[in-house]
Amino acid sequence: MPMSCPDQPLGRRRVLATAAGLAAGAMLPLTPARAAASSFTNPVIWQDFADIDVIRVGDTYYASASTMHYSPGAPVLRSYDLVNWEIAGHSVPTLDFGAKYDLNGARGYVRGVWASSLAYRPSNRTFYWLGQIDFARTYVYTATAAEGPWSRLTTIGTPYYDAGLLVDTDDTLYVAYGNTTISVAQLSPDGRGQVRTQQVFSTPSSVGTLEGSRFYKINGQYYIFLTRPANGQYVLKSSGGPFGPYTMRQVLLDLRGPISGGGVPHQGGLVQTQTGAWYYMAFVDAYPGGRVPVLAPVTWTSDGWPVVQTVNGAWGASYPSPALPAPPRQVTPMTGVDTFDGTKLKPRWEWNHNPDTTKYTVADGLTLRTATVTNDLYWARNTLTHRIQGPTSTATVDLDVSAMRDGDRAGLALLRDSSAWIGVKRDGGVTRLVMVNNLTMDGSWNTTGTGVEVAAASLAGTRVRLRATADIRPGAARTATFSYSTDGSTFARLGPAFSMGNDWRFFMGYRFALFNHATQALGGAVRVTRFELSVP
């Protein structure tokens, strides 16, 4: 992505941006853009999108994020103003990295798609996604449009941990990667293999751990933007080429963040607007909701180092909005109603591990046929998840249970390593509404509790509206409640409040989840006709 030279006199700065607006090393004026008419508030997205890599292609901004064991992986977000975002697609269509991602004999919880990189190559007008899986190898996917289709270009034997991909001014592809020991690799011209790799920096013991590489170029100088988890950000700079030598400077450390009870903004990436302004998009640890993106303007010192602009010594809860051209359209909201129209799921949805594609259909409604016989939701395939909107939000789902069979369990869950759900059990020809909690995992992500039924109600008909409300403010009580309606308007609470966990080690935040699994035999089904994510 382009970076401008901050120490060059304004009158001598030339605009070298390509038509794509993304040639590495492009110089754009740093004169402040026209006064913004409004402000934005942080977080810019109060949903779980961690390890952000952000780029600009022309007048459009794109970002990628970690998804771990959810499929499809690596969502591609799109924005026209850096503040309002939509999900355009996913760079990793399926987690075809082994049987554990199919819940087949093993499980891939907290593995899969970690911090990875998104880049655009103007020479062939192609998007690139690059990331390592299971410390084994690196995968590269490409697409000519952000929404896809994405396809695998290659695998590379070196696992580029927490990688940052740079398209240089001469079109050479470089990757910065590593934990504490930072290396740079040069890829072949077609991006399919590695030409060379070399260690370029060793983190001083006084700093600790550095990772989360993002790789940039500023008019002949190379920058590797690094995070100190989970409270700092550093940058390396080289005037001697992509392989160094590099010098280091601290960007931020223990900076107060904009979310009460949340952590220090860190990790993420830098991006330059078409008017020459710079922004840093980081994330804040805000469990139980996950890691959420925040945005701040960046200026540059006379000797070429980035400086995050703060408000009263903290990352601002509000800043003037970026002064940018009017967007060509409004982005698709991340909240609202989905009636599952058409024949494909919208990009807001991700499965818990890969789905069995023969066991669900989308056709003006979502049909979930049982795909697994298990008494453990963490082993059940075809559990469909949706990020929770902060600070509080409500998920409401309309469920037709007429095709359930004895032993089936279906409903709406709050899914993480400690989970609970409201839904329907069918046993002995009788269907009941239940609230279940105490679904738990240990620190190795093995199941330690398959759930305890703590409340129940009778269900006379075959249609029910289920609701879960979650308060994911990290400094609050982290409570969730469940309720149901049989007439579509009057809701009755079912069960006690559920206290959501906030341990960071699962990394992903809580999600609303739709599920249907068997405990006796396959063959049953439920139909979801409407899902709504709403905020107060």
In this predicted model, what pLDDT tens digit does every residue of 190-208 receive, in sequence order?
999 999 999 999 999 999 9
Q: Residue 20: how many CB atoms within 10 A of its CB?
A: 17
| Torsion sign (Cα): 138, 139, 142, 147 | negative
Whether the Cβ atoms of residue 48 and residue 289 lie closer than 8 Å to each other: yes
Fold of 336-534: Jelly Rolls (2.60.120)
pLDDT in tens, 398-424: 999 999 999 999 999 999 999 999 999
CATH 2.115.10.20 corresponds to the domain 10-320: yes
CA distance 65 to 74: 5
Mean pLDDT of the chain: 93
**pLDDT tens sequence across 460-492:** 999 999 999 999 999 999 999 999 999 999 999
Judged against a pLDDT cut of 60, whether residue 1 lies above it is answered with no
Please check the confidence at residue 20 and state whether its pLDDT lies above 60. no
Q: Does residue 239 come out as left (phi exceeding 0), alpha (psi in the -120 to 50 range) or beta?
A: alpha
Judge whether residue 29 has pLDDT over 60: no
List the one residue out of 37, 35, 84, 42 whose CA is nearest residue 315.
42
Question: Which pLDDT score, from 0 to 100, does residue 201 have?
Answer: 98
Check the CA dihedral 62-3-211-294 and report its sign.
negative
Residue-level pLDDT at 256: 98
Please report the pLDDT score of residue 219 as a whole number.
82
Among residues 417, 394, 305, 337, which one has the least CA distance to residue 5?
305
**Residue 9: band (very low, low, confident or very high) from pLDDT cuts 50, 70, 90:** very low
Between 18 and 74, whose confidence is greater? 74
Query: Do 10-320 and 336-534 agree at the fold level?
Result: no
Query: pLDDT higher for 37 or 42?
Result: 42
pLDDT at 417: 98
- Give the pLDDT of residue 524: 98
Domain segments of the chain as ranges = 10-320, 336-534
User: Averaged over 351-357, what is the pLDDT?
Assistant: 98
Alpha-carbon distance of 274 to 278, in angstroms, equals 10
